[in-house]
Amino acid sequence: MEENGTGFDVDKMRQDMRKVVMKRIGPEIEIDYEVIEDFKITKPESQRLLSIIFIQNSAITFNLQISYSIEDALFFSNFKDSGKMTTDEKKAMAKDFINELCNMAGGGIKHLVEEEGIDSLISLPVSTRTEDQDLFRAHPKGTSRVITDQWMLEHAEGNHSVLCYTKMEVLDEKAMKERIVPAFGGGDDAGGGVFFL
């Protein structure tokens, strides 16, 4: 369904954004999880951390945010020896895991867009507090189109979760329709895997 004369299906674009992100990060999560669209945050925001990555080109800016707690990130990473680690070591391991998920998804998106002939810049993943998320979220007062989505990855038993949020700001409607939409709707992104330095 075309929205506001854009010439492309905004809802499908939202689904395709999620599909590309999950294609990259889903295989790296070695536990059973469900994708939940209608959810409540059950942990205080102050206990959650945030990793974010940015991709920018002449047509769009895109960011992926993943909110998590240290315990949840370690659980999703399936790291077995966290009981022997100090709190600072656990925090570093959790941050590295989530940052690498952001990096993999961002790299896949950059690759897809560049296959359509649009050179893109990508940031390093940034770690901060969840309280800072409003700095990176959609601000509807602007004139550009913004497409957002959010979903929860939740362990099958419901006791561990991470929150994913995507934001795409459209800077060039023509390039969006002719190049970005096809990039997200098809093609194979680059391979990769999680590794820790």
On whether residue 123 sits in a domain, the answer given is yes
On whether residue 3 sits in a domain, the answer given is no
Q: At residue 149, does pLDDT exceed 90?
A: yes
Share of the chain above pLDDT 90, in %: 43
DSSP of 44-109, one letter per residue? -GGG-EEEEEEEE-SSEEEEEEEEE-HHHHHHHHT-TTGGGS-HHHHHHHHHHHHHHHHHHHHHHH
On whether residue 24 sits in a domain, the answer given is yes
Distance CA 12, CA 187 (A): 16
On whether residue 5 sits in a domain, the answer given is no
Per mean pLDDT, which range of 22-36, 78-92, 101-115, 156-170 is the poorest? 78-92
Q: What is the CATH number of the domain that holds 151?
A: 3.40.1550.10
On whether residue 1 sits in a domain, the answer given is no
Mean pLDDT of 62-71: 91
For residue 132, name the pLDDT band (cuts at 50, 70, 90): low
For residue 82, name the pLDDT band (cuts at 50, 70, 90): low
Report DSSP state, residue 151: E
- Residue 101 confidence (pLDDT): 94
On whether residue 153 sits in a domain, the answer given is yes
Residue 88's domain spans which residues? 10-185
On whether residue 117 sits in a domain, the answer given is yes
Mean pLDDT of 148-167: 88
Q: At residue 131, does pLDDT exceed 70?
A: no
Q: At residue 54, does pLDDT exceed 90?
A: yes
For residue 63, name the pLDDT band (cuts at 50, 70, 90): very high
Quote the pTM value: 0.83
Residue 153 in contact with residue 29, Cβ under 8 Å? yes
Residue 39 in contact with residue 152, Cβ under 8 Å? yes
Residue 161 in contact with residue 152, Cβ under 8 Å? yes
Q: At residue 8, does pLDDT exceed 70?
A: yes
Count of structural domains within the chain: 1
Q: At residue 124, does pLDDT exceed 90?
A: yes
Closest Cα partner for 24 from 56, 53, 67, 58? 53
On whether residue 193 sits in a domain, the answer given is no
- Residue 31 confidence (pLDDT): 80
